[in-house]
Amino acid sequence: MADSLTTSLFQELEGLVLIDPHSHINPHAAASKTLADLMGYHYYTELAHSAGLPKDQIEGPEISPKEKVGRLVEKLTDLDNTIQVSWLLEMCREFFGFTDDRITAANWEALYDTAEKKMAQPDWEQQVLRHSKIEKVFLTNDFDDPLTGFDTNVYVPCLRTDDLVFHFGRQAVRDRLQKATDVDVSDAVTLRNALGKLFAHFTGKGARACAISLPPTFCPKKVDAGAASAVIKRAAKGQTLTLAEEGLLSAYVFWTLAEFCAEYKLPFDLMIGVNRRVYECGVYQGQDLYDTRVSLIQYRDVLNAFPQVTFPISVLTHMSNQELVSYSWIFPNVVTNGHWWYSNTPTYIEQDTRSRLEAVPRNKQIGYYSDMYKLEFALPKFRMYRRILARVLATEFVQHRGWSEEQALSLGRQVLRGNVESVFKIS
């Protein structure tokens, strides 16, 4: 009974057209050209590398897309248990009519060619969006992105701010900021001016969020503008900052971003917990890990200081999920946001979803985002989530709490779509 109920709920949820509130899509090349665009996703390269494939076999300009896929396919037998490879199979089935159980040395070339042909169709991008039931996709834009040449109504700009907060000490970052804003940053006032220009530019182009990923050690504090000015001056002159100065500068920029989020009424997506470059010899984008010893108590000051800013928060690990539940339950300006990266696997999604649905106000939960780099991934990733959501709704709400199927569906629709609209003010 649970099974037929789950299936029925899943099918209803599958019918829903979605807005994807976080991705890394390049709007100028949103869909894939070959299977290498799919299998080059860091999940496959890092898992294959972890399973024993040398990095130089899959990274390097001399490796053609087809060669790369061929080499990765050989490693798939060691990875077919992973949920990530199940996404790959699901894409191949849905988009390319693939019918085998596994992608193997014997069948991959035919699949590659079929995929290449389909992906070459002029309306491939539209086909993928339509077939995946995706209406809009939020982007992750560099702060100096001109945001031109694409339909911002479909590909919604978001101001990503990691570079500003953590790498202002780098000449290249300061140059990009100068070029993007035409402001010579030399102290706190000019830095604020430059940041303000970015917000004006982004919101003018329809941006719907400011976003940042943060290391487990980060603890936002309000910093004295005078003290910040002194450090900014040193940075602007190209002087090397001490760790303490870097920390002060990061804190100042972060706090200023929050102030602009308040001014421009922009939600501030916080993605908390990542340590960069932990495995230095890892493949591209496969080097980051974390330290579970992080707490939302570190965000106490900023959450109290900006009641008018909505903070959709993603946490990197299941161990932080209960804090996210509790902080969202208490703070009006905290919203739970999706299932990020290392927590984006069924075991953790299921438990985190259950705990959120039973304790956080239903209007404060953004169920899922794809985090994808290529458009084809929305389908299997959202489908994985919809399956789990259907299961939780069937078991916890219909069976254990006696809700009607329609009531459960209404909750499902709200976390899948409704709250994305209300939190990010999409009409």
- Stretch 287-346 residues interacting with a copy of itself (CB under 8 A): 287, 289-293, 295-297, 300, 303-304, 307, 317-320, 322-323, 325-332, 342-343, 345-346
Q: Which amino acid is at 423?
A: V
- Tell me how many degrees the CA angle 97-101-102 measures, rounded to the nearest 5: 95
| Contact between 406 and a copy of itself per CB under 8 A | no
Burial bucket for residue 122 (CB in 10 Å: 0-12, 13-18, 19+): exposed
For residues 99-109, one letter each, b for 16 or more C-beta atoms within 10 angstroms of the residue's C-beta and e for the rest, the string is eeeebeeebbe
Q: Quick one: 102 or 130, whose CB is closer to a copy of itself?
A: 102
Question: What's the min distance (Å) between Cβ of 202 and a copy of itself?
Answer: 26
Q: For residue 119, which of 39, 36, 31 has the smallest C-alpha distance?
A: 31
Are the CB atoms for 400 and 392 separated by under 8 Å?
A: no
Residues 364-403 that bind a copy of itself (CB under 8 A): 364, 387, 396-397, 400-401
Q: Which stretch binds a copy of itself (CB under 8 A): 66-74, 175-183, 362-370, 375-383?
A: 362-370
| Contact between 256 and a copy of itself per CB under 8 A | no
Question: What's the min distance (Å) between Cβ of 180 and a copy of itself?
Answer: 33
| Contact between 284 and a copy of itself per CB under 8 A | no
Candidate residues 17, 106, 278, 425; the one interacting with a copy of itself per rule CB under 8 A? 278
Question: What's the min distance (Å) between Cβ of 142 and a copy of itself?
Answer: 25
Question: What's the min distance (Å) between Cβ of 300 and a copy of itself?
Answer: 5
Residues 148-167 that bind a copy of itself (CB under 8 A): none
Are the CB atoms for 45 and 59 separated by under 8 Å?
A: yes
Structure tokens at 387: 């399956």
Q: Quick one: 79 or 156, whose CB is closer to a copy of itself?
A: 79
| Contact between 7 and a copy of itself per CB under 8 A | no
Q: How many residues can be counted in the chain?
A: 427
Are the CB atoms for 175 and 235 separated by under 8 Å?
A: no
Q: How far apart are CA 391 and CA 5, in angstroms?
A: 9
Q: Quick one: 31 or 53, whose CB is closer to a copy of itself?
A: 53
- Measure the N-to-C terminal CA separation of the chain; round to a whole number of Å: 38
Question: What's the min distance (Å) between Cβ of 43 and a copy of itself?
Answer: 9
Candidate residues 106, 151, 363, 425; the one interacting with a copy of itself per rule CB under 8 A? 363
| Contact between 279 and a copy of itself per CB under 8 A | yes
Residue 314, number of CB atoms within 10 A of its CB:
25
| Contact between 281 and a copy of itself per CB under 8 A | yes
Question: What's the min distance (Å) between Cβ of 81 and a copy of itself?
Answer: 4
Q: Quick one: 80 or 113, whose CB is closer to a copy of itself?
A: 80
Q: Quick one: 150 or 306, whose CB is closer to a copy of itself?
A: 306
60 φψ region: left (φ > 0), alpha (ψ -120 to 50), beta (else):
left
- Longest CA–CA span in the chain (Å) reads 69
Q: Quick one: 22 or 383, whose CB is closer to a copy of itself?
A: 383
Residues 20-79 that bind a copy of itself (CB under 8 A): 46-47, 49-52, 78-79
| Contact between 178 and a copy of itself per CB under 8 A | no
| Contact between 146 and a copy of itself per CB under 8 A | no
Q: How far apart are CA 321 and CA 192, in angstroms?
A: 34
| Contact between 186 and a copy of itself per CB under 8 A | no
| Contact between 240 and a copy of itself per CB under 8 A | no
Q: Quick one: 117 or 279, whose CB is closer to a copy of itself?
A: 279
Are the CB atoms for 357 and 392 separated by under 8 Å?
A: yes
Candidate residues 355, 370, 372, 379; the one interacting with a copy of itself per rule CB under 8 A? 355
Q: For residue 5, which of 357, 417, 300, 403 has the smallest C-alpha distance?
A: 403
Query: Applying CB under 8 A, what is the total number of residues that bind a copy of itself?
Result: 74
- Tell me how many degrees the CA angle 199-152-129 measures, rounded to the nearest 5: 140
Are the CB atoms for 253 and 190 separated by under 8 Å?
A: no
* Neighbouring residues of 58: CB distance < 8 A, sequence distance ≥ 6: 45, 48, 49, 68, 71, 72, 283
